[in-house]
């Protein structure tokens, strides 16, 4: 019963480095999301995907890239890390069936610090 | 565009006292509404959701919320707070295309 799994849980990056946050879900969900959470700001949507091969920008996409080659995986790429990307990142997923009531399931988060 | 307002950044409640966390939303269509809870260093856990039917929704851990369309509100309540309820609480609204817009959160502190 894994649900949504994110790796790594913690990471420290130097300015200008690149990295990928991995996200996988085992619930056969069509929709997947990446959010970032900053203190006092709630969660902001970075990118989302409605199915394999389809991605779209959310509210704060600058500095990030995503891909969705399979239903299960939705990695988030940071190409040139900046201090402004220090945040907690959450991956989430949802089934496309209306009967789900739009419940979105979250991973446990990835804490990223850029120094 | 949809938005969610949680007017209280912090709330302190005595253990055993009742709790109400406020949430107001702005969305043109019938909203799908959620409350999530986040303990320190943890992910988000769904407490309850509303998407149709009875406007009083029961959730986990003894929480309930009432949808009031006339007030654009979806306030979270609990009759008796336990120390383990101390956490940050997020209200959220889903669009028809199923992204979630979150409020900025309310931090609940429970005093002995």
Measured in angstroms, the CA of B92 and the nearest CA of chain A are apart by: 10
B59 is in which domain, residue-wise?
A: 3-111
Rounded CA separation B19/A68 (Å): 42
Model confidence over B34-75: pLDDT tens digits?
Answer: 999 999 888 889 999 998 788 899 999 999 999 999 999 999
Mean pLDDT of the region A83-87: 96
pLDDT value of position A101:
63
Q: What percent of chain B has pLDDT over 70?
A: 96
CB B65 within 8 A of CB B57: yes
Question: How many structural domains are present in chain B?
Answer: 1
A8 preceded by a cis bond (ω within 30 of 0) = yes
The residues near A100 (Cβ < 8 Å, ≥ 6 apart) are: A94
Region of poorest pLDDT, from A53-62, B25-34, B50-59, B94-103: B94-103
Residue B76 sits in a domain of what CATH number?
A: 2.60.40.10
CB contact under 8 A, A45 and B99: yes
Domains of chain A as residue ranges with CATH = 4-114 (2.60.40.10)
What residue in B sits closest to A110 (Cα-Cα)? B43
The angle formed by the CA atoms of residues A96, A99 and A105, to the nearest 5 degrees, is 60
Q: What percent of chain A has pLDDT over 70?
A: 93
Phi and psi (nearest 5°) for B61?
60, 25
């Amino acid at each position: 019963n894994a649900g949504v799994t994110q790796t790594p849980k913690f990471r420290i990056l130097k300015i200008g480095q690149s990295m990928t946050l991995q996200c996988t879900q085992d619930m056969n969900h069509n929709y997947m999301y990446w959010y970032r959470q900053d203190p006092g700001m709630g969660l902001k949507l970075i990118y989302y995907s409605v199915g394999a091969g389809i991605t779209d920008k959310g509210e704060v996409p600058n500095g990030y890239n995503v891909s969705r080659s399979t239903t299960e995986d939705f990695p988030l790429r940071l190409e040139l890390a900046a201090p402004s990307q220090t945040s907690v990142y959450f991956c989430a997923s949802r089934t496309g069936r209306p009967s789900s009531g739009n419940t979105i399931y979250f991973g446990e988060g990835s804490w990223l610090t850029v120094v | 565009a949809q938005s969610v307002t949680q007017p209280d950044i912090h709330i302190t409640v005595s253990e055993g006292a009742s709790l109400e966390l406020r949430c107001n939303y702005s969305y043109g269509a019938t909203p799908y509404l959620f409350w999530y809870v986040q303990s320190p260093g943890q992910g988000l856990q769904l407490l309850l959701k509303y998407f149709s039917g009875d406007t009083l929704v029961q959730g986990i851990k003894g929480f309930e919320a009432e949808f009031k369309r006339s007030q654009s509100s979806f306030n979270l309540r609990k009759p008796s707070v336990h120390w383990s309820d101390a956490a940050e609480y997020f209200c959220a609204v889903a669009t028809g295309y199923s992204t979630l817009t979150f409020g900025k959160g309310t931090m609940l502190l429970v005093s002995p």
